[in-house]
Structure 1
Amino acid sequence: MEHVRTLECTLCGETYDPEQLVYTCSNHPSVQGILEVQYDYDVVRERFDEPLDGNIRDQWKYRAFLPVEEDAEPVTLQEGGTDLYDAPRLSDELGVEMRVKDDGRNPTGVLKDRATSVSVTKATHAGRDVVTCASTGNAAASLAGYAARGGLDCRIFVPGDAPEGKLAQPLVYGADVLAVRGSYDEAYDLSMEVTEEFGWYNRNAAINPFQVEGKRTVGHELAEQTRGDVPDWLVFSMGDGCTIYGGWKGFREFRDLGFVDEAPKMLGVQAEGARAIHDAYHEHDSTDDVANTLADSIAVGRPRNTLKAVKALNESGGTSVVVSDDEILRGEKTLGSAEGIYAEPAGAAPIAGIRKALSEGIIDEDESVLAVVTGYGLKDAKSAVEASGSATEIAAELDEVKQRYSP
């Protein structure tokens, strides 16, 4: 990987060999020094010869940017290349120019597939035969799907209250799914213990430095797709913090390399019951490390990538907001009814966040906004019913339909 210079600790600057399997900086065992992949962009530029014409078959169009060995065979289900939609009715509803990138259209229904493809590719190239992670559901499904594709065993740790719909996916993909009696953070801690004990390859985006690097292809795609018409604001929900940083890093790279002229401000959206990154950014005290929100994909009480998320907000000149679960459900309904885009609660949180940011004067009505949907709605059908209500029962008689719809 001549284009990868080093892994650098975000806390102290200690560097590590990117060819070795290192998760965190050994100087910070109690707080876990998260590592950042540093690149030689002269080499990246020399390697990248793809046309920026908006034709994106999958994320491997940007292989020159990805930290994988030249002889590694990608484990892929054609993740990435998701569509960017104009959203005229959503624009009317919110009162601001809107576009939406629907990354719920990835192979297992979630943006995380971008990261998983990279990590499973690295695991297979390194000769590992077991992969693991902790997850509220989406990463579990993603890892299980790609493990199946790559012929690896997969062992997943999920909190006991993870949605059944999300657990069905990894089970179908053949993973061992272990429901931990406790929170996501407890499942995460256990996954780290077994990684140390058994030497399994750990996909946890919270600590695996290569996960963010896969996620940043969404930023590359957005930069290419909006070339010449970059939005003023780019909006992500935030759980652990690595998704918004990945999106920012990818877009920033394209700006710095001169592929696009500018980059957007980042708006991070958290649930009121899982707001640690928001509090850190705004320098508020945050004492409750137990997440409490129906948006399970961002229900992270102790995010490990807070520094990277805050870095994205600061570097871009952006900010963050928090929204209630009711506002998230309203956003899910609004997005679906206005544009036909079905998002799980975490994927719809950006819509709630945009509405909040407009009401607080953070986003001006004459600015343009792009929201990224990170997960598909069928991941959590129960919340969709809560957002929209249940079906209306009628008798099997024409008169009942006439009573409802005749003028």
Structure 2
Amino acid sequence: MTMDHVDALECTLCGAEYDPDQVIYTCPEHEGVKGILEVTYDYDVVHDRFDAPLDGVVDSQWKYAAFLPVHDDAEVVTLDEGGTDLFDAPNLSDALGVETLVKDDGRNPTGCFKDRASSIAVTKAKHAGRDVVTCASTGNAAASLAGYAARGGLDARIFVPGDAPTGKLAQPLVYGADVLAVDGSYDEAYDLSVDVTDEYGWYNRNAAINPFQVEGKRTVGHELAGQTSARGDVPDWLVFSMGDGCTIAGAWKGFREFRDLGYVDDAPKMLGVQATGASSIHDAFHGHDDVDDVADTLADSIAVGRPRNTVKACRALEESGGTALLVDDDDILDAQTLLGRTEGIYSEPAGATALAGLQRALAEDVVERDETVVVCSTGFGLKDTESALDATDGVTAIDPRMEDVRDLYGSAE
């Protein structure tokens, strides 16, 4: 039973180190969940273990098993997550006036980016002998964890805010999870999930505090490093929406690792995008003190008032030379339909938030027209059809008569 490529779990606040073989979520030297832990590695060992070709071909995230904090004897619980397509987007590029590629992580097994983390969570939980996994979620993590728990033969007990989209709750229910709708916000559901973890000893998948979850998410950085370099060049920018901050932190860590190990020549700047109604990471990065911890945005997957991974997210933005921007809900809906009608990619609002951020960045000259950009869509649009309908003109009702069609489109001659 070895995990010799992992050095420690290191507190992002005080630098205290902990044994990575134990189940620990945050540094006990700090009150609450402030002492977020970072997985550190012996990269000499990682490099010796990693022998996959950097050809841009990725079947699943387990191509990068040498980088993942999993014991050699662990039974990997997988649905072939990761390995998502990086699309050329010529129509979108023409519309924006900048060369743009789209990484569509809505093509993961349960329809969202979070599958990269859930595979790690259930693998770790099963190896630790835990029978029950839990998390708080606005919907995507709930569905993701429930699907992987079913695959791994574990029970899932999920806490969601009472206003979570019903379409997203159907998934975990079908996967057999107990879905507990909390009469309150996501942050209140989150706090309750932490309390039950302490009382019942369930394995907590919350990516904001479980240090191993960001490690699964960072495989998107590995994939993008390989996929873009195989095309000839590393992009100037990677654009992600931000909720708890885990996704952008993981993406940067993965790409940076490949640069530092010499697998690719450079690393991109990170552009983190939040909704104006859930702007805590943006505000922290720009040094604002008047932070409102109540989230209010239709992009439910990033509707987080009190992000737990602000430190890691801000570090990714700073280290990469990137920045954070805000967009409003109308911008998000416009970006959702723009991506759909130009490239046939159906993204949920949180995924389209990244594209809305790129549009804002272009308008404010943050991104230059001669640069290259990768936008990551983190979730499939069928997760939230109500918001998508709000973004369109809706269905046109007609009678079953040719005259009605001619009224719309004119004569065929």
Indicate the TM-score class for this superposition, using the shorter chain for normalisation: over 0.9
Question: Does the alignment pair 1:328 with 2:361?
Answer: no
Aligned counterparts, 1:294-305, within 5 A: 294-305=298-309
Please state if 1:127 is matched with 2:156. no
Q: How does 1:251-290 map to 2 (within 5 A)?
A: 251-290=255-294
1:78 to 71, 74, 80: 80
Residue 25 of structure 2: aligned partner: 23
CA contact 1:298–1:346 (8 Å) conserved in 2: yes
Q: Deviations over 1:45-104 (max 9, x none)?
A: 000011111221100000000000001111000000100000011011111110000000
Select the residue among 402, 405, 408 that pairs with 1:398: 402
Deviates most, 336-345 or 28-37: 28-37
Match of 2:36, SS?
strand
Structure 1 residues 91-240: aligned runs within 5 Å: 91-227=93-229, 228-240=232-244
Q: What's the offset of the Cα at 1:190?
A: 0.3
- Quick one: which of 364, 379, 382 aligns to 1:378? 382
Of the three residues 350, 365, 368, the one matched with 2:369 is 365
Deviations 1:2-40 (A, max 9, x none): 000000000000000000001000000235200000000
Contact kept in structure 1, 2:26 and 2:33, CA below 8 Å: no
Q: Per-residue deviation at 1:403?
A: 2.1
Where do 5+ consecutive residues of structure 2 fail to align?
none
Q: State the TM-score, normalized to the length of structure 1.
A: 0.99
Letter in 2 for 1:168: A
Deviations 1:148-204 (A, max 9, x none): 000000000000000000000000000000000000000000000000000000000
In 2, are the aligned partners of 1:276 and 1:286 still within 8 Å (CA)?
A: no
Q: Distance in 2 between matches of 1:215 and 1:267?
A: 17
Q: What amino acid sits opposite 1:317 in the alignment? A: G
Please state whether the residue corresponding to 1:132 is helix, strand or coil. Answer: strand
Structure 1 contact 54–224 (Cα < 8 Å) conserved: yes
Aligned residue pairs total: 407
Structure 2 letter corresponding to 1:363:
V
Which letter maps to 2:104? D
Supply the distance in 1 between the matched residues of 2:389 and 2:408 (Cα, whole angstroms). 22
Structure 1 gap segments, 5+ residues each: none
State the secondary structure of the residue aligned to 2:224.
Answer: helix
Output one character per residue of 1:233-259: Cα deviation in whole Å (capped at 9) or x when no partner: 100000000000000000000001111
SS of the residue corresponding to residue 269 of structure 1 reads: strand
Identity %: 72
One-letter code of the match for 2:87? Y
Q: Which residue of 2 aligns with 1:37?
A: 39
What does the per-residue CA deviation read over 1:116-135, in whole Å, with 9 as the maximum and x for residues that have no partner? 00110010111110000000
- 1:289 maps to a residue whose letter is D
Q: Show the counterpart of 1:345.
A: 349
| Structure 2 Cα separation of the partners of residues 320 and 347 of structure 1 | 16
TM, length-normalised to structure 2: 0.98
d(CA) in 2 for partners of 1:287 and 1:57? Answer: 41
Q: Is the 8 A contact 2:283 2:291 kept in 1?
A: no
Return the offset for 1:285. 1.8
Please list the CA deviations of residues 199-227 of structure 1 after superposition, one character each: whole Å capped at 9, or x if unmatched. 00000001000000000000000000001
The whole-number CA distance in structure 2 between the counterparts of 1:112 and 1:188 is 16
- Partners of 1:93 and 1:390 lie apart in 2 by 23
Q: Is the 8 A contact 1:242 1:309 kept in 2?
A: yes
Work out the CA distance in 2 between the residues paired with 1:364 and 1:4.
39
Partners in 2 of 1:32 and 1:279 — Cα distance?
18
